Structure 1
Amino acid sequence: MRIAIVFNHPYEGSYCNAILKAVTKGLQKANHEIDLIHLDRDGFNPVMTAADLKAFKDRKPIDPKVIEYKQRLDEADHLLFIFPIWWELMPAMTKGFIDKVIFPGVAYDYTPSGNGMIPLFKNVKSVTVITTMNTPGILYRILFGNAIKKAVITGTFWKMGYKNRKWINLSMVKMASDKKRIKWLTSLENKFAKMK
């Protein structure tokens, strides 16, 4: 299976980078093909310009990176996002990726009635999102309204028609012991080593 990983964290020493390594190791054990879209290393521009909005209307992207990413995602069987939650939301590059790549004519089209969406990444069967945050999970759900679930899992991929969606969130990461962090990484490696 071909797994496209969309990764966003600028700091090499981050826990998100440790997660990326653990997930990659697990996927390699299962002999999956990995296509890493590293938004930070790619210098992806998340800003939606006036020209990009005209392209949105015309359903023809103009950003060379968006065109490249579309070609790569057309080949993917599974889409995996890894990013931190900062101030209850995703970083700007991840948001920009969703704005500019999850785009009409690239990732989806509208049904003839205009009331629904049809996914255009025909090989993608499932989407997984892995996030880290320092907020306690219960506070994130109750007090802050579960913004990632609403915006990404439901508001983007459910709306597009992907039935197999999963969100793995690691909360209170900064406060976690080294033992717990290692346990999380081992669990993720094992989980993706069993992925079929």
Structure 2
Amino acid sequence: MRVLVVYCHPVETSFASALHQEVLANLRAAGHEVDDCDLYAEGFDPVLSREERLGYHEVPSNRIPLQPYIDRLNRAEAIVFCFPTWCFGLPAMLKGFFDRLFMPGVAFDISDPANVKPMLTHIKRISAVVTYGRPRWVAWYMGDPPRKIVTRYMKRLTGQAARVDYHAHYHMNIATEPQLTRFKARVGQAMARFA
């Protein structure tokens, strides 16, 4: 399977980075073709410019600034997101990736605004590996936007066809080394079975 891994964290010594490496190693060992999209390492610009916003609905010219990323997305059969939750949301870099890339003519067809059609129907599998600073009940209380974006919004863009799973480690602020080790192993096992 061709898997696009979208990773978002600026620090190479972080636990998120260790999870990212675990994801990559296990997907590759399982025989998947992996496209590692490290947003910080690639210098992805998350800012939706004035010009892009004005041309947002102009298909296909709206694709021009992001064509290489669109090509990668269109080639993928699966997506794995790996990121921390900051302020109960996506990191700004990843939010900008969604804002800029998942647009008309790429993620959905809005030519008939009353009947928006999903365009990521080639994506058969979605997964996320996510960390939270606070306990799960606090994330739930805040509405848990990252979980909803991955498990609801992304699934909707595939026409509800993709199988989705969400691997979350809560309360990083007090996590112990054994807890982190267990979660990392669980993520590795999930990626080894990824299909």
TM over 0.5: yes
Give the share of equivalent positions with the same residue, in percent. Answer: 26
- C-alpha contact 1:74 1:122 (8 A) present in aligned 2: no
Unaligned segments of structure 1, at least 5 residues: none
Pairing of 1:1-196 with structure 2 (within 5 A): 1-59=1-59, 60-61=61-62, 64=65, 66-110=66-110, 112=112, 114-119=114-119, 121-141=120-140, 143-154=141-152, 156-160=153-157, 161-163=159-161, 164-196=163-195
Change over 3 Å in CA distance of 1:38–1:21 after alignment to 2? same
2-structure distance, mates of 1:63, 1:12? 31
Following TM superposition, by how much is the alpha carbon of 1:162 offset from its aligned partner in structure 2, in angstroms?
Answer: 3.4
SS in 1 for 2:10: coil
Q: How many equivalent residue pairs? A: 192
Task: Tell me which amino acid in the other structure corresponds to 1:25.
Answer: A
Following TM superposition, by how much is the alpha carbon of 1:122 offset from its aligned partner in structure 2, in angstroms?
Answer: 4.3
- Output the TM-score relative to the length of structure 1: 0.90
SS in 1 for 2:172: coil
Task: Tell me which amino acid in the other structure corresponds to 1:175.
Answer: I
- C-alpha contact 2:167 2:187 (8 A) present in aligned 1: no
Following TM superposition, by how much is the alpha carbon of 1:152 offset from its aligned partner in structure 2, in angstroms?
Answer: 4.0
Unaligned segments of structure 2, at least 5 residues: none
SS in 2 for 1:159: helix
Deviations 1:99-135 (Å, cap 9, x if unpaired)?
A: 000111122213746333222x343112112211111
- C-alpha contact 1:127 1:166 (8 A) present in aligned 2: yes
- Output the TM-score relative to the length of structure 2: 0.90
